[in-house]
């Protein structure tokens, strides 16, 4: 049974991450990971297990959040379904390799450090606002499948919906920012589904899990955050179509820096 204060914390987290999922196409995972790590650590879990459960639970919520936000993006014509179809097979393969394989091998503190470093690089690339080459375009089917594999693998290690890789990748290939965000939101579903199944499998043999855990996924948090995030994700998606593109990039980058700093701290001191 969850305490009322814990329910309130998870509900607020769900409302905020749902809005950001719609606004930035990030699925909310990169915001949930650090906050869930803090919540689980305060409940007595060691840093290693807390980081892993936070990553897994964050990813599981994206299954719900991505569906609610992508509907609005689709209605506004900002989802490139041709790109989704080419990236998705690689995403499923890469996600399975990360969540079932590497995730169970690496320590949670190492995952936290990797999270911080990789997200910092992504934020820097976004802030540089480097214009893509005029003749740069999306690669062919096999190239996009390979890119999808990398997106799915990296997402599985940090518990995020993949926008920190897929949005800069698509923008560098002359896909408009709003289309990149909408397409990233659609990609969040296969990323979350593949990795969540993997987290459940890889965590099934762990004996020190808290009550309500299914593998590495903490079901009480999943239920509360998922229920609240679907309320605000469509709102965030609508706002995304009213905010100037340059400002959207700055918001994205500043958010990434803050989250990266916290996870680096947890990884280096855990």
For the cut 90, the answer to whether the pLDDT of residue 80 exceeds it is yes
Read off the pLDDT of residues 26-75 as tens digits, 9 standing for 90 and up.
556 667 878 888 888 888 888 888 888 988 898 888 887 777 778 878 88
- C-alpha distance from residue 244 to each of 248, 250, 270 (Å): 6, 10, 39
Best CA proximity match to 31, nearest among 13, 53, 51, 50: 13
Q: For residues 70 and 74, what is the distance between their CA atoms, to the nearest angstrom?
A: 6
State which residues form the domain around 33: 4-269
Q: For residues 22 and 15, what is the distance between their CA atoms, to the nearest angstrom?
A: 11
Contact in structure between 249 and 177 (CB atoms under 8 Å)? yes
Name the pTM for this structure: 0.77
Read off the pLDDT of residues 158-191 as tens digits, 9 standing for 90 and up.
777 677 778 878 888 888 888 888 898 888 888 8
Read off the pLDDT of residues 130-165 as tens digits, 9 standing for 90 and up.
666 777 778 888 999 999 998 888 888 777 767 777
| Number of folded domains that form the chain | 1
């Amino acid at each position: 049974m969850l305490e009322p204060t814990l329910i309130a914390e998870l509900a607020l987290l769900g409302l905020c991450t749902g809005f950001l999922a719609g606004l930035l196409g990030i699925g909310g995972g990169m915001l949930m990971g650090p906050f869930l790590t803090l919540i689980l650590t305060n409940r007595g879990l060691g840093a290693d297990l807390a980081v892993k459960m936070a990553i897994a639970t964050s990813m599981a919520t994206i299954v719900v959040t991505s569906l609610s936000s992508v509907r609005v993006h689709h209605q506004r014509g900002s989802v490139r379904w041709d790109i989704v179809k080419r990236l998705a097979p690689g995403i499923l393969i890469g996600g399975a390799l990360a969540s079932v394989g590497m995730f169970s091998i690496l320590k949670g503190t190492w995952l936290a450090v990797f999270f911080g470093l990789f997200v910092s690089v992504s934020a820097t690339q976004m802030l540089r606002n480097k214009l893509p080459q005029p003749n740069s375009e999306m690669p062919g089917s096999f190239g996009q499948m390979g890119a999808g594999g990398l997106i799915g693998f990296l997402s599985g290690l940090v518990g995020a919906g993949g926008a920190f890789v897929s949005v800069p990748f698509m923008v560098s290939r002359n896909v408009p920012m709003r289309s990149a965000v909408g397409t990233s939101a659609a990609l969040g579903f296969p990323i979350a589904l593949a990795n969540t199944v993997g987290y459940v499998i890889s965590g099934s043999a762990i004996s020190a899990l808290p009550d309500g855990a299914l593998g590495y996924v903490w079901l009480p948090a999943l239920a509360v955050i998922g229920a609240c995030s679907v309320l605000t994700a469509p709102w965030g998606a609508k706002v995304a179509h009213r905010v100037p593109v340059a400002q959207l990039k700055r918001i994205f980058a500043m958010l990434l820096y803050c989250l990266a700093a916290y996870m680096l701290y947890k990884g280096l001191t855990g």
